[in-house]
Amino acid sequence: MRKKVIAGNWKMNMLPNEAIAFIEELAPLVKDTENEVILCVPYIDLFYSLLTVQGTNIKIGAQNMHFEESGAYTGEVSGKMLKSIGVEYVIIGHSERRQYFAETDEIVNKKVKAAISNGLKPIICVGETLEQREEGKTSEVITKQTELALEGLTNKEVENIIIAYEPIWAIGTGKTATSEDANNSIKEIRNKISKIYGQNTAQSVIIQYGGSVKSSNAKELFEMSDIDGGLVGGASLKAEEFSKIVKYK
């Protein structure tokens, strides 16, 4: 049985004092959950967040990283740096990074490999645009993105990653994919992994849904056969609302 993994993606929100207050409010609300709880916070909040989650079941992730370990890359942060302070997860290839920061599938693959080699768990985002969906290309786009992101990984490595299927038209728009649609897309991603890595590996990969997840739709989505939790943006900015998503049942 795969575990449900619920990750918040704060994006470019929350000052350190707000991060601390949020975690202090969230921790008692989610302490008894059997689901995995992750907060992916801005770099500036990482250290404060890591200190504040000590002794709780909340894990901390970053939202991006560079694929090189160190060097002349002004403004960048490496996987090695993230790992050194105790970060466990990192979002890679979020559609906002692909769209606004020109991240290609090749860069995503390099980052995934660098994350793994530094002992971080990547949360790899894939998803189609509205245009691609309307042209009937959803399956082609998301399976290709998955294949390219995972290129060169071993079975064992693939078994330890997380994929987030996030249809771009559903992010921050209030529009959610229907639970059937989301489940079908996630099945397609799993089938693709199965074709390359075999059924056992495909069945063990955590694949989340993301895009306007909130407490009112979390249960319906997360109870689908292939949806293993969610990557939550807007609704992860309020501790009480996020705790309801974590405890969706």
Smallest distance from ligand PGA to CB 126, Å: 12
Cα 191–chain centre separation: 19
24 in active site: no
State the DSSP string of 38-76.
Answer: EEE--HHHHHHHHHHTTTSSEEEEES--BSSSSSS-TT-
The token pair that represents 15 in the structure block: 């000052």
Burial of 154 (0-12, 13-18, 19+ CB in 10 A): exposed
Residue whose Cβ sits closest to ligand PGA: 233
Using CB under 6 A as the binding rule, whether residue 231 contacts ligand PGA is answered as: yes
CA distance 247 to 249: 6
Which residues make beta-bridge pairs with 58?
37
Q: Could you tell me which stretch among 66-74, 132-140, 149-157, 205-213 binds ligand PGA (CB under 6 A)?
A: 205-213
Smallest distance from ligand PGA to CB 173, Å: 7
Smallest distance from ligand PGA to CB 119, Å: 23
Q: Annotated catalytic residue: which of 36, 66, 94, 103?
A: 94
Q: Which of 39, 234, 244, 246 binds ligand PGA (CB under 6 A)?
A: 234
CA distance 25 to 15: 15
The token pair that represents 40 in the structure block: 């992916």
Q: Could you tell me which stretch among 22-30, 99-107, 147-155, 204-212 binds ligand PGA (CB under 6 A)?
A: 204-212
Smallest distance from ligand PGA to CB 232, Å: 5
Q: Which of 210, 218, 222, 229 binds ligand PGA (CB under 6 A)?
A: 210
Q: Are 189 and 146 in contact (CB under 8 A)?
A: yes
Task: List interacting residues with ligand PGA (CB under 6 A).
Answer: 9, 166, 171-172, 210-213, 231-235
Query: Which residues are known to be catalytic?
Result: 94, 166
